[in-house]
Amino acid sequence: MQKEIKIWLEKPQGRYQEGVAIFEACASPEIKKKYLEYFKKETGEPKQFAPHFTVLVSKVSDIHRNMRLNPEAFKDVKLTFVQSDNSELLAEKERQIEELKSEKEELEIQIEELEDDAETNAQEIADKEAEVEELEQKLETLGADFESLKQKRGIQIVHYDNLPDEIRKKYERVREITPLMANLHAEISVDRLHHATRAKLVRELVALDDERRAAWDVIDDWAEGKNVGETLAVALAEQKPTLEFSTDDVVKGAQIERRTNRLKENIARSQKVADNTAERKLIRENALKRVEAYKAELEELEKLIKKDE
């Protein structure tokens, strides 16, 4: 989380609401009581040296410093960093810009034709030149809007509690599974364990491992913009851990087999998303990224299998 706050502090311009979200999540109750309402009164993007902005930067700087000095005090703070998908709105703005450009070019061609007899067509030329000037102003405004929207595709912040229920439940389940798996590992490693008991524990461990990896797949899918309804790209504030395999050969073999099958399903599913959403560039690109990531993981697993063999 320190890294994300540091990134915000390096370039807070145009990202005022992100700073407010950081402040609301991380500031002490006393400081929030004093400043939060003040910050939230500003609903737009204040100028760099506006009072709201300068005070906010100062308070977020204090948070960042305190976090470095005493990270333990912030261990229960949970933020989720999301990137909004405004690709459809951008596409619409781009379409409008292209239409205006075409209209402007057509008028300019008409003006050129009228200028063959400029004296006779003087009034009509003037009218069309006025139309061209008006279109240029509209194009300038639309262009500024387009660039502003592109800038707003940067990270925004929402609270962990505001995650969709499905994603939050998956994430919480992952946290529950981790200690359960540790306990099973410990039980399996006991000497003189009856083979039937050991086999039962191995099945439980592999099932939990598969559930954990499947949960992360769902989170990753949502993170890459595959959320139904709102399309968001998500990176959990607590980074995804490396999902290692057991050192026990029997457990490891079962885990790899289950994961290999799951990856093949994921590849097929993500490829289908990419093929069926060609008109939505961001979703298609994210789906193809997932395909490549899954294929890379599958390749690594196949290398492990060959090595073990």
CB burial of 197-228 (b: ≥16 within 10 Å; e: otherwise) equals: ebeebbeebbebbbbbbbbbbebbbbbbbbbe
What is the rounded distance in angstroms from the CA atom of residue 173 to the CA atom of residue 217? Answer: 13
Residues pairing with 80 in the sheet: 158, 236
Higher pLDDT, 49 or 77: 49
What global pTM score does this model have? 0.43
Cα 163 to Cα 158: distance, rounded to the nearest angstrom:
8
Q: What is the pLDDT of residue 231?
A: 32
Helix H or strand E encompassing 84: strand 79-84
Separation in Å, CA 309 to CA 258, 261, 271, 303: 17, 18, 30, 10
- Element holding 158 (H helix, E strand): strand 155-159
User: Of residues 232 and 265, which shows the higher confidence score?
Assistant: 265
The residues, any chain, with a CB within 8 Å of residue 160's CB and separated by 6 or more, are: 78, 79, 80, 168, 237
Domain boundaries, the chain: 2-77, 87-151, 164-226+240-308
| Per-residue tokens: 303 | 């290398």
Give mean pLDDT, residues 276-288: 70
Given this model, what pLDDT does residue 169 score? 84
For the cut 60, the answer to whether the pLDDT of residue 234 exceeds it is no
Strand partners, 81: 157, 235
Count of Cβ atoms closer than 10 Å to residue 164 Cβ:
15
CA dist., res. 263 & res. 217, Å (int): 9
Q: What is the Cα 38 distance to its own chain's centre?
A: 29
Give residues with Cβ within 8 angstroms of 154, minimum separation 6. Answer: 15, 83
Helix, strand, or coil (residue 152): coil
Is 36:42 a contact under the CB 8 Å cutoff?
no
Percent of the chain scored above 90 by pLDDT?
A: 7
Given a cut of 60, whether residue 248 has pLDDT beyond it is yes
Of all helices (H) and strands (E), which one includes residue 156? Answer: strand 155-159
User: Which is more confidently placed, 86 or 57?
Assistant: 57
pLDDT of 301 > 80? The answer is yes
